[in-house]
Structure 1
């Protein structure tokens, strides 16, 4: 089995940081607004419950990754051992073994080799020590779907992933365009303004353009600059990622600090008293939280390079505990510090024309432009990922060069970006986009796919490898009862959101 070079591996704490940074992204910026709709008490309970549900399904994905590696290792060993039996029979001029070598999980294949007179090699011994299950090879979620699902299951997986990525692009586009618009129109911005007010409110005092017109112009500008990248193959560099991480944590730290300062210096009359609970806000918070705890589709890329795989379970547990605490800190400080929280939290920190301090004004501009800095670097990657998945869904990727140039290089790149931009052209409500994406496509990626993947993976490994070899990466939520509980929770979330949409 090929081993990963030391240059490609990183220590456990780096994996911890990568998972943390992946989860705490755009969803965190929309969480305070959704939290305020549900109320601080109900919102706190829901965030904890949704964090736990997401953690459970993350363990399902990790178990499935180990199962996929085990099947890959089993097939590789079968091939190697079968070749060695054939070579031994040819050298000994004896009748070749015609029966396939079968492994029942209790060393039956090694008995066959011994009976055939073949000496046990280190490779044989390695696998007889229960090392089939590992996270050594990076097997993406799509590859696992191809391995464990049939034709219908594979189609539904890629379809669900495509919808989720469409939602991602819509959220990124709207967030960047709104942030740019609010900086440009900062001198005519009211903290109590709604999205509908932006249609009639002028960007400048003597301008014929409304704030919504400027939003559309910013959207077109953003698409014109970053959209062409979808026609090529580009990747984020390590340094760009590090810069993005620094920007992100600086911005979040500043937002929490400003909110805490407002809490201690609050002199509003009457004081801000947020509501405790409002069941009408549950659908918003469900969709936002599902989106905010998403990392499932990127786990293979993040966990495979970790050098010490035995600490993966504790790493994920600590990540989710700290992320849950971080989200509660961000949301609770925001809901008590601001009487009205915008759907994109950074919009509560738009530049103030009355601000005399140059330093504080620079902080305000930094926070207002924060989504532009961070989301713009991810937009081309998401778009290219979507383009690739659309091609996988509709074309035979093994014969991609057989299709005409327009279909390969023009149609699918346009199909990847135009629907999202069209949606954003008519709405700037980021919270609605996050809620819809999180609740429908997000439940598929975060709940349903892990449930069915781990169920099929357990069945396949048991029949192929047997029960004698233990999966050290198996989820602590082992019984089928957990699968039914998560499935029931998924149905509940979908029903609540659908009822809210059709009201």
Structure 2
């Protein structure tokens, strides 16, 4: 058992795991949430945020249950393999030795193994890191596995497109404002992409120049293996929380001094489409749960800790978004919330303005190569055939190219971050956050009953054990697909 634990890497306490999960969920999506709140209205936004937080919690418990079931399957297979090896060894011994060993096994080993198979709590201990792709291969059919990888790949493409657009957009907003007679970013309505930036260059030209530089600097990492270092993770997390704290405090101070400009509507259903996608994207963590949960040293109260995490995240999202929509006018809120603080009338200190304005550049740039390598590896896994290897050109050129090119092309065509986040969250995000966990938990429960007998209790089973919850999650996922698609079609028809 000790050997299994060391495979997960360095263990950490449940509360450290809580912090890691908080940092994982609260990312780029939080920066696009304020504008989505302002567009959809504060009451609709609050209700939808709480509901989607609850649904994400439900599917997180589904994934944890599937992880425990997968661990039980792997553990039992190892026990059976060990038994077969012992039986093979005993067949080469003398008849008297065989008789003695058989008696010993019947007296000691068989009952213990039988008890383990029919419900020993330790059988479902989460000690092996079983990634979602492996769980899909264990519980899904071949078609289901291919659909799983297709969904993951689409989501990662959306992620990369958001990152590829966010960095050049932030650089354009900050540097074009400095290049003009302004000391910072003004209301978005005052600027169009066709406005001048520096000399004869338009703002859109500056954006595309920054996108080209971004691609040339970070794109080559897609062709190599990149690992996220511990110190880089600490640095980016520290920068993130300094930035979030500054924005919340500055917005509260501005509102407290009676200078809040926001008068958000109660409800505006035309903005629900983007809000839905942004909120789904902002609660995304299911695909990373195996790497996050497995190293937790004590998993006794895992469900309670996850619930506490979601409560804290809801409170944080609510605080960030409500201070934003009452501090700034809805039509002046930018897609990337940090850019609203690059204005002289909001922040007097130039260093703080530039730190907040360029904050996405530093944090997102460190994540882009990691996401790109993850996407490239998923492509390889999808087309991998047992025992086969790829030619050098396919492995080192084709896969990295098909990974890098599509998101850069999308970012070249648009920098509408709210729509990019909304569409990614509403389609691929819904698949990863709702559909895959629902099917995983349903099929793993059936598999567990067949393998270990009916009535077997999974110690990490979801509190939402009734099949109703699986159906409810799938119904909600279908509703999200239908609503967003219908909304897009209606919007295009009006245009």
With structure 2 as the length reference, what TM-score do the two structures score?
A: 0.92
1:319-334 equivalence runs, <5 A: 319-334=309-324
Aligned to 1:375: 364
1:222-241 equivalence runs, <5 A: 222-241=214-233
Aligned to 2:151: 160
Q: Assess, with a 3 A threshold, how the Cα gap between structure 1 residues 312 and 398 changes in structure 2: closer, same or farther.
A: farther
Alpha-carbon distance in structure 2 between the residues aligned to 1:398 and 1:141: 22
CA-to-partner distance for each residue in 1:420-445, whole Å, 9 max, x for gaps?
Answer: 00011010100110011000000110
CA-to-partner distance for each residue in 1:277-301, whole Å, 9 max, x for gaps?
Answer: 1111111111000000000110000
Q: CA deviation at 1:183?
A: 1.6
1:110-149 equivalence runs, <5 A: 117=106, 119-120=108-109, 124=113, 127=116, 129-149=120-140
Q: What's the secondary structure of 2:201's corresponding residue? A: coil
Q: CA deviation at 1:92?
A: 5.4
Aligned to 2:480: 493
Alpha-carbon distance in structure 2 between the residues aligned to 1:438 and 1:276: 24
Alpha-carbon distance in structure 2 between the residues aligned to 1:258 and 1:126: 60
Aligned to 2:204: 212
Aligned to 1:298: 288
Alpha-carbon distance in structure 1 between the residues aligned to 2:347 and 2:313: 36
CA-to-partner distance for each residue in 1:277-333, whole Å, 9 max, x for gaps?
Answer: 111111111100000000011000011111112132122111111001100000000
- Paired residues, number: 479
With structure 1 as the length reference, what TM-score do the two structures score?
A: 0.90
Q: What's the secondary structure of 1:396's corresponding residue? A: coil
Q: Assess, with a 3 A threshold, how the Cα gap between structure 1 residues 499 and 123 changes in structure 2: closer, same or farther.
A: same
Gaps (5+ residues) in structure 1? Answer: 98-111
CA-to-partner distance for each residue in 1:96-141, whole Å, 9 max, x for gaps?
Answer: 99xxxxxxxxxxxxxx977964533998498363311121000000
Q: Assess, with a 3 A threshold, how the Cα gap between structure 1 residues 127 and 279 changes in structure 2: closer, same or farther.
A: same
Alpha-carbon distance in structure 2 between the residues aligned to 1:156 and 1:417: 21
Aligned to 1:193: 188
Alpha-carbon distance in structure 1 between the residues aligned to 2:115 and 2:416: 56
Q: What's the secondary structure of 2:465's corresponding residue? A: coil
Q: Assess, with a 3 A threshold, how the Cα gap between structure 1 residues 428 and 465 changes in structure 2: closer, same or farther.
A: same
2:261 equivalent to 1:260: no
Are the aligned partners of 1:349 and 1:368 in contact in 2 as well (CA < 8 Å)? yes
Alpha-carbon distance in structure 2 between the residues aligned to 1:96 and 1:86: 11
2:420 equivalent to 1:433: yes
Gaps (5+ residues) in structure 2? Answer: 491-495
Compute the RMSD of aligned alpha carbons. 2.4
Alpha-carbon distance in structure 2 between the residues aligned to 1:317 and 1:212: 44
Q: CA deviation at 1:273?
A: 1.7
Q: Assess, with a 3 A threshold, how the Cα gap between structure 1 residues 355 and 499 changes in structure 2: closer, same or farther.
A: closer
Are the aligned partners of 1:140 and 1:300 in contact in 2 as well (CA < 8 Å)? yes
CA-to-partner distance for each residue in 1:176-208, whole Å, 9 max, x for gaps?
Answer: 11111112112346633359x53221113xx11
Alpha-carbon distance in structure 1 between the residues aligned to 2:347 and 2:110: 76
2:10 equivalent to 1:3: no
Are the aligned partners of 1:113 and 1:119 in contact in 2 as well (CA < 8 Å)? no
Q: What's the secondary structure of 1:203's corresponding residue? A: strand
Q: CA deviation at 1:238?
A: 0.3
Q: Assess, with a 3 A threshold, how the Cα gap between structure 1 residues 307 and 32 changes in structure 2: closer, same or farther.
A: same
CA-to-partner distance for each residue in 1:7-46, whole Å, 9 max, x for gaps?
Answer: 7111111111110000000000011111111111110000
